[in-house]
A and B are shown apart, each in its own frame.
Chain A
Amino acid sequence: MIGRDLLGIEDLDRGDIERILETAEHMLEVGRREVKKVPTLRGRTIVNLFFEPSTRTSTSFEIAGKRLSADVVNFSPASSSISKHESILDTARTLDAMDPDAVIVRHGVAGVPKRIADRLKAPVINAGDGAHEHPTQALLDLMTVMQAKGRIDGLSVAIVGDVVHSRVARSNIFGFLKMGAEVRVAGPPTMIPAAVETLGVKAYTSLSEALAGADVVMMLRIQLERLAGSLFPSVREYTATFGLDREKLRYAREDAIVMHPGPVNRGVELSHDLADERPSVILDQVRNGVALRMAVLYLLAGQPLAGERRGSW
């Protein structure tokens, strides 16, 4: 069963994922109530430890925690431990001394949540680490697909864009494969890791081929400022080749849904109308995000401490 931390989808099995999704469905009902708050985690403290700014994700976790009556504290240390001469160890020790019941970690470098988890008594939930994983995003994506399609097993999922830098892509690849879907990735060859097929997906350099027969089209966010001119020649060329609009969507199945982790670069990876309207389910993703994170907090936060932690590394 699901362990003490949630560091990545890679660590979960299908049963864990199903249990989290089922719990999240019940949490959706809480969100529909007039009083959207249950006393489950009353008196518990949840720390949002965001080394990298992300209003969306931290807000989603904050609302989730508050709906469960936890006290949510936002803590944003300097983004680089080098600049502040504070090691990960220091940060973890400082936090541990505050006795949190769960720590949600976002960091720009892969592996930091794990390293913090190795040192912390409290459970750690990875809210995105570098280009590694973003497990709650993938879980809410699975939940959204489950609602739209009634199943995940046997679906075809196309993930399009900057796969090499995307933690969302990695977590979704692990998640959809574990749940029995077929996964394709597509993007400029400079943005598809050479070894991506070792993950169990099929790689395409043509959007139309990747979309053929797809039930789910997941567009990734392009980091325009950082990548234009190095990994692709220009925004114009990117949009022409891998941007999705209604016309290109016709390559996919007629009933395909369109997803995006947000925030959308409108008119770049997704046309303006597709960002708002069906078959896009982007707002469902956001709504499900709160319920899913409530589920994760319910399952992990404030569990009785099982003795000493794994110790140092």
Chain B
Amino acid sequence: MVLDDAAIRRSLMRIAHEVVERSEDPSRIYLVGIPNGGVPLARQLAVDLARVADLRPPLGILDTTLYRDDLTRTGERPPLRRTEMPGAVDDQVVILVEDVVNTGRTIRAAMDALMDFGRPRAVQVVALVDRGHRELPIKIDYVGKNIPTNTRETVELRGTEGGLSGPLEVVILTEHGAERS
């Protein structure tokens, strides 16, 4: 385990402070969680923003599957996940929330998807974990923790009660699926 629930909460609270500090107009903030891991993180961030600056930003969920660039290269099509955007993103400062950013391809897909919901004033990215093996020119605006890994490993946000329920944790799994200490 590299981050436990308390560490995740501390990171998000810090990010909430940074978001408020760096926003010219906090009333335009529009949070969007990328399923699955980004969704609980975006929710927590919304709670933190309310605490820190009494903000009540819209909170959307945006599935990127239909925008993936590898769909016709893989075998079976991945299951779709929920998309739920509470309103247009025109002139909003959209903050995409993702659990783990690595190649940047999911963020690219999310930005494309986002454009189908309007023309945001700006798009920023929150990553709880940045692994750093970027394959596209994608910049992370708010990072919880930089975790250097090799490409054969995977980094996973998971709930201690299965799926994403219960207290959260971030773990590194080796290519054999074992947890790296």
Contact = CB atoms under 8 A, between A and B. Distances in A.
A and B held together in a complex: yes
Interface of A: 1, 19, 22-23, 26-27, 29-30, 33-35, 37-41, 44, 68, 298-299, 302-304
A35 B77 contact: no
A20 to B, nearest CB: 11
Contacts, number: 52
B63 A33 contact: no
Given A33-B117, A37-B116, A26 B75 contact: no
A22 B67 contact: no
B80 interface: yes
A44 B77 CA distance: 15
Contact of A39 (B63, B67, B88): B67
A298 B76 CA distance: 10
Nearest to A27: B80
B5 interface: no
Nearest to A29: B83
Contacts of A39: 66-67, 112
A55 B113 CA distance: 31
Contacts of A303: 72, 75-77
Of residues B66, B79, B112, which shows the largest number of chain A Cβ atoms within 10 Å of its Cβ? B66
Nearest to B74: A304
Give the dominant DSSP class at B's interface.
loop
A298 B63 CA distance: 15
Contacts of B117: 33-35
B72 A302 contact: yes
Of residues B75, B77, B112, which shows the largest number of chain A Cβ atoms within 10 Å of its Cβ? B77
Nearest to B117: A33
10 contacts: A19-B79, A23-B80, A26-B83, A29-B82, A29-B83, A33-B116, A37-B116, A39-B66, A298-B66, A302-B72
Contact of A35 (B67, B71, B74, B116): B116
Contacts of A34: 88, 116-118
A34 B114 CA distance: 12
A26 B71 contact: no
B116 A26 contact: no
A44 B83 contact: no
B90 to A, nearest CB: 10
Interface string B44-73: 000000000000000000010011000111
Contacts of A35: 116-117
Nearest to B77: A299
Given A1-B76, A39-B112, A303-B72, 19 more contacts: A22-B80, A26-B63, A26-B81, A26-B82, A27-B80, A29-B83, A30-B66, A30-B83, A33-B116, A33-B117, A34-B88, A34-B117, A35-B116, A35-B117, A40-B66, A298-B66, A298-B77, A302-B72, A304-B72
B172 to A, nearest CB: 31
A70 to B, nearest CB: 11
Contacts of B79: 19, 22-23
Contacts of B112: 39
A298 B72 CA distance: 10
A41 B72 CA distance: 8
Contact of B67 (A27, A38, A299): A38
A27 B63 CA distance: 11
